[in-house]
Amino acid sequence: MTLGETLVEVWRQALAEDRGEVLVDGQRLPVARTRHQSLRTVAVRYGDRAIEGIEQNPETSSRWAKLAQRGQRIMQFSFRGRYVGNVCEGRLTRYPAWKAEGLPE
């Protein structure tokens, strides 16, 4: 699976199917929750890269939060502390940091 396909699959299982554990490429990844807002999080290994996924917080003022307020399921993904993309209702959006961090297409 490509990195993009992996992130979409993580989103699907964690948010669309509301699973407590995600299974991708033979990896079992627990879906945790943040303490204060109970947002779902998943730590993903892709090769030697550690990517963090977190459910979009609908209480912020971003355009993605506005979509989350309307019921859209969105997971943001970060690498080395930078947001590199998100998956919204099964569709991957890559941010400029994706390319800047040298992540594979």
Using pLDDT thresholds of 50, 70 and 90, give the confidence band for residue 19: very high
- Which token pair is 14? 């964690």
Give the SS3 label for residue 10.
helix
Token duo for residue 4 = 């993009």
The edge-to-edge listing of strands for the beta sheet with 40-46 is 32-33, 40-46, 49-55, 74-79, 82-88, 91-94
For residue 105, what pLDDT band results from cuts at 50, 70 and 90?
confident
Read off the pTM. Answer: 0.95
